[in-house]
Amino acid sequence: MNRDHLALSDDILMKIEKPARYIGHEYNSVVKDLSEVDVRFAMCFPDVYEIGMSHLGIQILYDMFNKMDGVWCERVYSPWMDLDEIMRKERIPLFALESQDPIKDFDFLGITIQYEMCYTNILQVLDLSQIPLLSKDRDDDDPIVIGGGPCTYNPEPIADFFDLFYIGEGETRYAELLALYRKHRKEGFDRENFLREAAKIPGMYVPSLYDVTYHEDGTIAAFSPRFDDVPEKVLKEVVMDLSSTYYPMKPVVPYMKVTQDRVVLEIQRGCIRGCRFCQAGQLYRPVRERNVDVLKEYAMTMLKNTGHEEVSLSSLSSSDYSKLPELIDYLIEECDKRHINISLPSLRIDAFSLDVMSKVQDIKKSSLTFAPEAGSQRLRNVINKGLTEEVILRGAHLAFEGGWTRVKLYFMLGQPTETEDDIRGIAELCNKIAAEFFETVPKEKRVNGRVQIVASTSFFVPKPFTPFQWAPQCTKDQFVEKAYFTRKCISEQLNQKSIKYNWHEADASVMEGVLARGDRRLAEVILKVYQKGCFYDAWSEYYKHRVWLETIEECGLTPEFYTSRERSLDEILPWDYIDAGVTKEFLKREWQKAQNEMISENCKVKCQGCGAARFGGGICFEERVAGDE
């Protein structure tokens, strides 16, 4: 391969913002000899380079594919607006970073789908690649377009754009899929045949092999495979032994500053907590831990191989990792010698974490983070967030004693059963934390004289495979009203001067809700919206709410059908044919308990019988502990 060859001319590279996004050549990026490659896989994150490069999942799969003989996996991201315009005008096909070759010449285009608002960027990537947008229009020479990631647990709104979805964790079935592909290539390739066979591999969902019919009211009447040999339900794939699977020892090191510019150690998958609003908490069950000695070795090897100056732990709830103190002690000792920073997101605030944080951060500059998600204990019981006011205040007290003066609090507005009292609880909790500061820290010791409390609210969007999947979502007006009410309540507090309040825009939350629980009929909307020039919807400066609304109407649909409507428990949901491990009975039980304000203990304390035990491992088979909150 000629390393000097670039897909973009010098004139273009000199004209656009941040050309480093498009030239590849990063340290640890993999370049293979084409004469030894028979399957070319382009791995895409449909957002800008800095975001896409920060995603651990792609790095794991990149490493896995490139370890396979004859397979070359390369990366591709969404070109930024400036380059997008040039590529369209000059008809330059989208290319992979490593070889700079057009994506349309690849065997596979794999797209990871992490959030709903990137759906139009998927079309941008296909379009710039000069691949037909609709699966049915592709022929044998086009790449197989395969989707993965959390949004594929309800892939229906984007089903028409994909040939295949891989449901679940990518480490398990790709080898099988590629073997099948090679076999079909050898025996004379026919796209339809290949997809029909692929559908028999566990975890694979081929949307074109299923028919959906609707009732007059728009709900689903039936969802069925078109052939007998196509499975009725697709069960998600999971890796049960996380300590002996793929993990990238040599992750690609970008030149540019990217969002996640550090070594990332995924300490566990899944979460024991079972918060009822949280999709990730359900999708990644059961909890599986990585062996602590393996993690120590990974950390040191990856630091050496990348030269990164920071290491970060990744998991949904790091505090629940059983060997956390041992791992952190080790990292602190080793990293201190090497001037390496440690970043510890998602830690519960208690004496242990405060002690650790005081060792790894500058207390004066850092802030404490709490995520109560709801303002009152009543509503926290509804959402099963096991964080009490007492625990928060105790944590804050310890932290103020330790010298912290900044506190961040995250809440959600619009969760099921929420009342004005619950919202007022947000303001009151903030006020109590401020009061705790003034009580804990004597006047003469107050740095800058005060405490800074920042409360942020986001709007709740119900997601598939959560107990709230049947719940109505608030309308935009309700959201906005709630935000104003929150602000008003905060302004009435005694310590209001110490409290700052931020809230998110409501428009995008409405559309996220439409797409999250949408059905196949939305493909037409997404396609039309894209054709009207919308993409980068996840970037508020580019999101055009009006265009979305007007297009939904043009297609004879309404946002309310998908968002603010309460679904009945026996309605066929668009994602019912996917089996995410948790059973519908369990979700219904949880939905009932939520309405009765009853909590469910976490997996460590008591198994709730969610269904994930069928995978035969993880937390479901570990001893229960008594008394953990």
Task: Determine if 587 is a binding residue for ligand SF4 (CB under 6 A).
Answer: no
Structure tokens at 117: 């608002």
Task: Determine if 275 is a binding residue for ligand SF4 (CB under 6 A).
Answer: no
Instruction: Closer to other proteins by CB, 303 or 619: give it.
Output: 303
Using an 8 Å Cβ cutoff, are 563 and 513 in contact?
A: yes
Instruction: Closer to ligand SF4 by CB, 451 or 603: give it.
Output: 603
3-state per-residue secondary structure call for 272-286: CCCCCCCHHHHHCCC
Query: Closest Cα partner for 110 from 56, 153, 58?
Result: 58
Task: Determine if 285 is a binding residue for ligand SF4 (CB under 6 A).
Answer: yes
List 286, 395, 462, 574, residue binding ligand SF4 (CB under 6 A) = 286
The site partner of 13 among ligand SF4, other proteins, none (C-beta below 5 to 8 Å per kind) is other proteins
- d(CA 154, CA 223) in angstroms, rounded, equals 14
Q: Is the peptide bond before 442 cis (omega within 30 degrees of 0)?
A: no
Question: Residue 572 pairs with which residues in a beta bridge?
Answer: 220
Task: Determine if 599 is a binding residue for ligand SF4 (CB under 6 A).
Answer: no
Q: How far is the CB of 264 from other proteins (least distance, A)?
A: 15
What does each C-alpha distance from 138 to 4, 76, 141 come to in angstroms?
A: 32, 20, 8
Instruction: Closer to other proteins by CB, 304 or 606: give it.
Output: 304
Task: Determine if 482 is a binding residue for ligand SF4 (CB under 6 A).
Answer: no
Q: How far is the CB of 260 from other proteins (least distance, A)?
A: 14
SS3 459: strand
The site partner of 612 among ligand SF4, other proteins, none (C-beta below 5 to 8 Å per kind) is ligand SF4
List 87, 313, 455, 603, residue binding ligand SF4 (CB under 6 A) = 603
The site partner of 285 among ligand SF4, other proteins, none (C-beta below 5 to 8 Å per kind) is ligand SF4
Using an 8 Å Cβ cutoff, are 268 and 327 in contact?
A: no
Binding mask 334-353 for ligand SF4 (x = CB under 6 A): --------------------
Specify burial of residue 221 (Cβ count, 10 A radius: 0-12, 13-18, 19+). Answer: exposed
Instruction: Closer to other proteins by CB, 23 or 68: give it.
Output: 23
Specify burial of residue 79 (Cβ count, 10 A radius: 0-12, 13-18, 19+). Answer: buried
Query: Closest Cα partner for 474 from 436, 426, 431, 423?
Result: 423
Q: How far is the CB of 316 from ligand SF4 (least distance, A)?
A: 13
SS3 6: coil
Q: How far is the CB of 400 from other proteins (least distance, A)?
A: 20
Using an 8 Å Cβ cutoff, are 157 and 517 in contact?
A: no
Instruction: Closer to ligand SF4 by CB, 150 or 281: give it.
Output: 281
Task: Determine if 607 is a binding residue for ligand SF4 (CB under 6 A).
Answer: yes
- d(CA 367, CA 89) in angstroms, rounded, equals 47
Q: For residues 428, 433, 437 and 439, what is the CA-based torsion angle, rounded to 10 degrees?
A: 60
Binding site for other proteins (CB under 8 A): 3-4, 6, 10-11, 13-15, 19-20, 23-27, 253, 255-257, 303-309, 338-339, 341, 361-362, 365
Instruction: Closer to ligand SF4 by CB, 240 or 494: give it.
Output: 240
Residues 6+ apart with CB under 8 A from 556: none
Q: For residues 469, 471, 475 and 476, what is the CA-based torsion angle, rounded to 10 degrees?
A: -50
The site partner of 307 among other proteins, ligand SF4, none (C-beta below 5 to 8 Å per kind) is other proteins
Q: How far is the CB of 190 from other proteins (least distance, A)?
A: 39
Instruction: Closer to ligand SF4 by CB, 59 or 268: give it.
Output: 268
Which segment (22-30, 64-72, 85-93, 613-621) binds ligand SF4 by CB under 6 A?
Answer: 613-621
Instruction: Closer to other proteins by CB, 27 or 542: give it.
Output: 27
Residues near ligand SF4 (CB under 6 A) are: 285-286, 603, 607-610, 612-613, 619-620
